[in-house]
């Protein structure tokens, strides 16, 4: 099944993906988990209907005003809708809901049907001091949907799903304008009708949306060939409590700072992105994915650096460390690399048959010269066909008593080995001290001439208090990232989980600049308060 053929489905509030295709752990996983000391919990997750909700605080005046803007049928405080819009998809978010904690639930969910309705909703909420959490895919894994609510009369989730259209296609310039609520599979379906693709395929693809891609600076697996999402955006329309901001009159400009880049990554704190104009490309005629084995992570990273700096770049490049290569949670009986030892590199090539053949041959020479061993197409195709099933495994792992979570960062090539070592050590020590020694996996999936991302997966037995267990590990990892001089996030974003570390990273003067911009576009401070930008009492 290709990306464009995946269905758009409504997810369960705390189980990932298509409800008709739940994830299952193979029997072979039991032994591996037992070695980590994993024990099944006494109680399963709370049923959706059993999850209690806080009393609705939204003033009647606000409810009436919102209904006047979007229609009464598009405003709801119904139980299941409030639960479904509570937090995002990080493991702590899921653990809280599974335990029956929906204390962060919005008072109401509002479904605008146009850009003008979004502006009107924000004007109402600003005047009545109601906090607004922009929501489309809801796939944040960094607390990006958990607002500070102390200074507000209520909180609404602004669900963008009705803004679900392809507004324009410019075949000559190869651009397309998509509304913010379009989910990943739907975007590809709409573009394929014109023979085009966005080429943006993060692992959250089934749930994430165009607006979320832009608001969080998303990076898809094909970033080597297509670029990150912020590199694809040539224009956007932003709704704020004070009106509309329209940016992007040309592909590039020297007319002052590029304000598109200020909005991209702003995580709903400066306004609600209602549409984006993006660069698109023809649907590839051919796709070939293959595997390579390197003796060590360092050797593999050197091979990837040669590709990034000297070329040619494949469309997809991924390097798994020794542990991730050896452990395949989807099928623990089979190593990803198809044999013992070493580190697996996945390369993918997309385009015309001529382009694919030429780049594959040249990139293969680079990898072979760096010490890589060609494994053929079987490992690459296996990875391509199974990659969207990865997130489905977290649910049965949590059911089994496993704590599993991810985090990522990015740094320069010269700092890569030290960063990987320090973060791995920090996670291992923090969890081992709690009596739950972890398995820490790492891979590179985004490379640049000057550096690369590191993506960590952590697996261990759940402690008695798994929320505090992960909090200690995450704090240690954040401290290690900062001490190494790396960025706190490459593509997951800031949210609330990284907010304080992000403030340290940019420094107090830059943080003050962000506050100044927010005061200009959002004087009442209603837009996703507490996310990205530290809250200020009374703001």
Spatial separation of the C-alpha atoms in residues 44 and 94, rounded to whole Å = 13
Parallel, antiparallel or unpaired: strands 451-461 and 439-444: antiparallel
C-beta of residue 423 within 8 angstroms of C-beta of residue 454: yes
Average pLDDT in the 212-227 region? 96
Parallel, antiparallel or unpaired: strands 130-135 and 154-159: parallel
386 versus 344: the higher-pLDDT residue is 344
Average pLDDT in the 320-324 region? 94
Q: How confident is the model at residue 173 (pLDDT cuts 50, 70, 90)?
A: very high
Domain positions in the chain:
166-282, 401-499
Confirm whether 166-282 and 401-499 share one CATH topology.
no
Q: What CATH number does the domain located at 166-282 have? A: 3.30.465.10
| Tokens found for residue 75 | 């405003």
Parallel, antiparallel or unpaired: strands 175-179 and 166-170: antiparallel
The string of pLDDT tens digits covering residues 232-276 is 999 999 999 999 999 999 999 999 999 999 999 999 999 999 999
Parallel, antiparallel or unpaired: strands 108-110 and 154-159: parallel
Beta strands in 83-171 (DSSP E): 108-110, 130-135, 154-159, 166-170
Q: Residue 421: CB partners within 8 Å, gap ≥ 6?
A: none
Best CATH choice for the domain 401-499 from the list 3.40.190.10, 3.30.300.330, 3.40.50.300, 3.10.450.40: 3.30.300.330
Average pLDDT in the 115-137 region? 97
C-beta of residue 17 within 8 angstroms of C-beta of residue 9: yes
C-beta of residue 443 within 8 angstroms of C-beta of residue 425: no
SS (H, E, C) 499-512: HHHHHHHHCHHHHH
Q: 523 φ, ψ to 5°?
A: -60, -25
Average pLDDT in the 457-477 region? 97
| DSSP element (H, E) containing 461 | strand 451-461
Per-residue model confidence (pLDDT) at position 32:
77
Q: Per-residue pLDDT for 327 more than 90?
A: no
% residues pLDDT > 70 (the chain)? 96
C-beta of residue 343 within 8 angstroms of C-beta of residue 256: no
% residues pLDDT > 90 (the chain)? 88
HSE at residue 398, side-chain half, CA atoms within 13 A, is 26
Per-residue model confidence (pLDDT) at position 335:
45
Spatial separation of the C-alpha atoms in residues 91 and 65, rounded to whole Å = 36
The string of pLDDT tens digits covering residues 69-79 is 999 999 999 99
Tell me the whole-structure pTM to 2 decimals.
0.95
Q: How confident is the model at residue 332 (pLDDT cuts 50, 70, 90)?
A: very low
Point out which residues pair with 346 in neighbouring strands.
Answer: 291, 318
């Amino acid at each position: 099944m290709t990306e464009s053929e995946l269905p758009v489905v409504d997810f369960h509030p705390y189980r990932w993906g298509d409800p008709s295709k739940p994830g299952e752990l193979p029997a072979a996983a039991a032994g591996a988990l037992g070695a980590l000391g994993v024990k099944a919990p006494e109680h399963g997750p709370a049923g959706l209907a059993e999850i209690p909700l806080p009393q609705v605080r939204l003033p009647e005046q606000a409810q009436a005003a919102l209904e006047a803007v979007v229609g009464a049928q598009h405003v709801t405080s119904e139980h299941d809708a409030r639960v479904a819009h509570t937090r995002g998809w990080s493991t702590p978010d899921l653990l809280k809901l599974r335990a029956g904690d929906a204390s962060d639930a919005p008072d109401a969910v509002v479904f605008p049907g146009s850009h003008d309705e979004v502006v009107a909703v924000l004007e109402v909420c600003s005047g009545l001091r109601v906090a607004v959490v922009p929501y489309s895919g809801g796939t944040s894994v960094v607390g990006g949907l958990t607002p500070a609510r102390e200074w507000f009369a209520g909180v609404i989730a602004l669900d963008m799903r009705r803004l679900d259209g392809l507004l324009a296609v410019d075949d000559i310039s190869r651009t397309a304008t998509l509304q913010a609520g379009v989910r990943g599979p739907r975007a590809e379906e709409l573009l394929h009708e014109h023979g085009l693709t966005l080429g943006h395929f993060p692992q959250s693809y089934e749930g994430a949306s165009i607006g979320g891609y832009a608001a969080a600076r998303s990076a898809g697996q094909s970033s080597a060939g297509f670029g990150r999402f912020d590199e694809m955006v040539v224009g956007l329309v932003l709704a704020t409590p004070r009106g509309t901001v329209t940016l992007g009159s040309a592909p590039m400009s020297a007319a002052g700072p590029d304000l598109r880049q200020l909005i991209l990554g702003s995580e709903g704190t400066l306004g609600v992105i209602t549409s984006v104009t993006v660069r698109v490309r023809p649907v590839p005629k051919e796709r070939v994915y293959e595997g390579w084995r390197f003796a060590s992570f360092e050797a593999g990273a050197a091979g990837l650096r040669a590709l990034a700096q000297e070329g040619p770049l494949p469309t997809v490049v991924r390097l798994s460390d020794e542990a991730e290569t050896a452990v395949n949670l989807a099928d623990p009986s089979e190593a990803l690399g198809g044999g013992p030892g070493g580190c697996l590199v996945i390369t993918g090539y997309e385009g015309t048959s001529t382009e694919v053949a030429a780049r594959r041959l040249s990139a293969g020479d680079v990898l072979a010269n760096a010490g890589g061993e060609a494994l053929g197409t079987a490992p690459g195709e296996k990875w391509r066909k199974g990659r969207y099933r990865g997130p489905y495994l977290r649910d049965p792992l949590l059911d089994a008593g496993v704590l599993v979570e991810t985090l990522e960062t990015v740094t320069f090539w010269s700092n890569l080995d030290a960063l990987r070592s320090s973060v791995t050590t920090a996670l291992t020590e923090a969890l081992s001290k709690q009596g739950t020694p972890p398995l820490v996996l790492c891979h590179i999936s985004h490379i640049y001439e000057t550096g690369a991302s590191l993506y960590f997966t952590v697996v261990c037995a759940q402690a008695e208090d798994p929320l505090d267990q992960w909090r200690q590990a995450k704090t240690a990892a954040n401290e290690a990232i900062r001490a190494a001089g790396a960025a706190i996030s490459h593509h997951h974003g800031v949210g609330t989980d990284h907010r304080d570390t992000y403030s340290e990273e940019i420094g107090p003067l830059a943080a003050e600049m962000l506050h100044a911009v927010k005061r200009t576009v959002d004087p009442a401070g209603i837009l996703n308060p507490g996310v990205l930008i530290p809250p200020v009492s009374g703001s």
